[in-house]
């Protein structure tokens, strides 16, 4: 697949600062879930066809943003929609059930919102909150194909006058084609790594549609090229994670991936039930007249349902554990944060394996016709496999085992 340089597209998606969406005067987590229900139904109905045609869900994603989905989990007194971390996780699973590509593409936006919700002293917090209230979406990554081990940053940032100039390339820019803002890391002349956030329509910001994985193909996770991008001083910040009582700031990001996997498992169940009811015929030597009465089809759908339930339950349990870290300080925050990070890691293992197994079992509900490409059922396994490759589950299991055996804390790399 050739890399396509994306400069423009549907106005609502690629001209983020033109024509702001009106901010509702009142909204809640519950009202947002109600408002997006028909949008999710539309997204789910078109997910397979969009993947075959490689068509992005620009209008539907913008419709979700218009309902201020990223305000769920931000306190009402801050201008958010309120709601718990469990409410937010339920929302992510619902989006992923409709289309895991869309849920993944929104991940950076929800990560930004979670930082606003949990870090009162976040640099530029008020500005970021207002952008969320405007319905803006975010993309960002520290990843580089030119980087070395342990996330080496080769993108450069240098002082020019009262601002900066950035040059480099970032990959896995998840949601990059949907976003209004792009954030990343760059290294200055002294070797200090700085964070930056710029509008995607800033001169020199180039977004390429070159993501070519086996799954999650429409997450807009390709390259963001930064060519002499001028950055103001207030768009740059020093990242200092050592000042937090609980250093496992990546736990929510990992919980999000597990929620996407849980959504994929639920989508596999939806398609298994639909196919068995509407399309499947009993095998020749079956004793049943209808596939829904075949004992082996029933067993298969039952196991898919069990796998989907296991993933969902594990994700919600981890959300509750992670919510327990909020408001704590000192050694207590560190102890609870470490335990929550391990819980999230264990959830990642369960969610990945449940989604992969559910997606595989889907094909046991029917015969040869269930493999037809027009159905696109293979996308569930491919999507689950691609999400799983973000962070190896073997590491998650090993870290959890070390914690239980010796009390060793998880790494603070952001992957637990």
Whether pLDDT at 149 is above 70: no
CB 405 within 8 A of CB 275: no
- How does DSSP classify residue 283? -
Identify which of 77, 174, 71 has the alpha carbon closest to the alpha carbon of residue 131. Answer: 71
CB neighbours of 20 closer than 8 A, spacing ≥ 6?
134, 135
All domains of the chain, ordered by start, with CATH?
Answer: 4-138 (1.10.540.10), 149-241 (2.40.110.10), 243-406 (1.20.140.10)
**DSSP calls for 86-104:** HHHHHHHHHHHHH-HHHHH
Identify which of 295, 301, 297, 348 has the alpha carbon closest to the alpha carbon of residue 321. Answer: 348
What is the rounded (10 degree) CA torsion for 115, 118, 124, 130?
80
282-287 CB contacts, 8 Å cutoff, 24+ apart: 283/367
What confidence tier does 361 reach under pLDDT thresholds 50, 70, 90? very high
Residue labelled with tokens 């509008």: 199
Whether pLDDT at 116 is above 50: yes
Whether pLDDT at 9 is above 60: no
Q: What is the pLDDT of residue 284?
A: 78
Listed range (156-170, 185-199, 240-254, 331-345) with the worst mean pLDDT: 240-254
Q: What is the pLDDT of residue 150?
A: 62
CB 138 within 8 A of CB 183: yes
Q: What is the pLDDT of residue 328?
A: 94
Whether pLDDT at 18 is above 70: no
Integer Cα distance of 18 and 221 in angstroms? 24
CB neighbours of 180 closer than 8 A, spacing ≥ 6?
16, 17, 131, 136, 137, 138, 199, 200
β-bridge partners, 373: none
What confidence tier does 390 reach under pLDDT thresholds 50, 70, 90? confident
Q: What is the pLDDT of residue 244?
A: 81
> Strand runs (DSSP E) across 122-180, as ranges?
138-141, 156-160, 163-170
Please write the tens of the pLDDT for every residue from 155-214. 999 999 999 999 999 999 999 999 999 999 999 999 999 999 999 999 999 999 999 999
Integer Cα distance of 41 and 394 in angstroms? 35
What is the rounded (10 degree) CA torsion for 8, 9, 15, 16?
-120
Whether pLDDT at 363 is above 50: yes
What confidence tier does 22 reach under pLDDT thresholds 50, 70, 90? low
Q: What is the pLDDT of residue 8?
A: 38
Tokens of 402: 């070390």
CB 131 within 8 A of CB 23: no
CB 155 within 8 A of CB 167: yes
What is the rounded (10 degree) CA torsion for 223, 227, 228, 230?
-40
Integer Cα distance of 61 and 71 in angstroms? 15
Whether pLDDT at 52 is above 90: yes
CB 251 within 8 A of CB 232: no
What confidence tier does 101 reach under pLDDT thresholds 50, 70, 90? very high
Whether pLDDT at 19 is above 70: no
Residue 227: phi, psi to the nearest 5? -120, 105
Whether pLDDT at 13 is above 80: no
Q: What is the pLDDT of residue 391?
A: 87
Whether pLDDT at 331 is above 90: yes
CB 333 within 8 A of CB 246: yes
On average, the pLDDT of the chain sits at 92
Q: What is the pLDDT of residue 289?
A: 83
Chain-centre distance for alpha carbon 374: 26
Determine the average pLDDT of the residues in 100-123: 95
- The proportion of the chain whose per-residue pLDDT surpasses 90, expressed as a percent, equals 84
Q: What is the pLDDT of residue 402?
A: 98
Integer Cα distance of 80 and 126 in angstroms? 12
């Amino acid at each position: 697949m050739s890399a396509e340089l994306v400069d423009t597209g549907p106005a609502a998606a690629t001209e983020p600062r033109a024509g702001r969406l009106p901010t509702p005067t009142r909204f809640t987590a519950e009202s947002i879930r109600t408002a997006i229900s028909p949008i999710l139904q539309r997204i789910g109905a078109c997910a397979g066809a969009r993947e075959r045609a490689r068509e992005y869900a620009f209008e539907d994603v913008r419709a979700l943003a218009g309902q201020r989905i990223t305000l769920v989990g931000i306190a009402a007194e801050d201008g958010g929609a309120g709601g718990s971390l469990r409410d937010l996780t339920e929302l992510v699973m619902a989006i992923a059930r409709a289309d895991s590509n869309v849920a993944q593409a929104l991940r950076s936006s929800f990560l930004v919102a979670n930082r606003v919700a949990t870090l009162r002293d976040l640099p530029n917090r008020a500005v970021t909150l207002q952008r969320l209230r405007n319905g803006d979406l975010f993309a960002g990554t520290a990843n580089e194909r030119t980087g070395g081990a342990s996330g080496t940053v080769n993108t450069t940032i240098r002082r020019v006058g009262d601002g900066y100039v950035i040059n480099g390339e970032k990959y896995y820019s998840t949601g990059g084609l949907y976003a209004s803002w792009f954030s990343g890391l760059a290294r200055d002349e002294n070797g200090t790594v700085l964070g930056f956030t710029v509008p995607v329509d800033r001169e020199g910001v180039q977004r390429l549609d070159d993501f070519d994985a086996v799954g999650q193909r429409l997450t807009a996770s390709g390259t963001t090229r930064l060519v002499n991008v001028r950055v103001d001083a207030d768009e740059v910040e020093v990242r200092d994670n050592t000042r937090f009582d609980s250093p496992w700031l990546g736990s929510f990001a990992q919980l999000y991936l597990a929620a996407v996997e849980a959504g994929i498992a639920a989508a596999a169940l939806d398609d298994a039930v639909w196919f068995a009811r509407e399309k499947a015929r009993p095998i020749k030597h079956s004793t049943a007249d209808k596939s829904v009465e075949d004992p082996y089809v029933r067993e298969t759908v039952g196991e898919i349902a069990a796998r989907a339930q296991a993933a969902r339950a594990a994700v919600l349990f981890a959300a509750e554990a992670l919510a327990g870290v909020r408001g704590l300080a000192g050694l207590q925050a560190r102890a609870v944060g470490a335990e929550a990070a391990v819980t999230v890691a264990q959830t990642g293992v369960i969610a990945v394996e449940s989604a992969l197994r559910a997606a595989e079992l889907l094909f046991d509900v029917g015969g040869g016709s269930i493999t037809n490409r027009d159905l696109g059922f293979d996308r569930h396994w491919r999507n689950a496999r691609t999400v799983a490759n973000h962070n190896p589950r073997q590491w998650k299991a090993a870290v959890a085992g070390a914690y239980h055996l010796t009390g060793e804390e998880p790494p603070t790399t952001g992957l637990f």
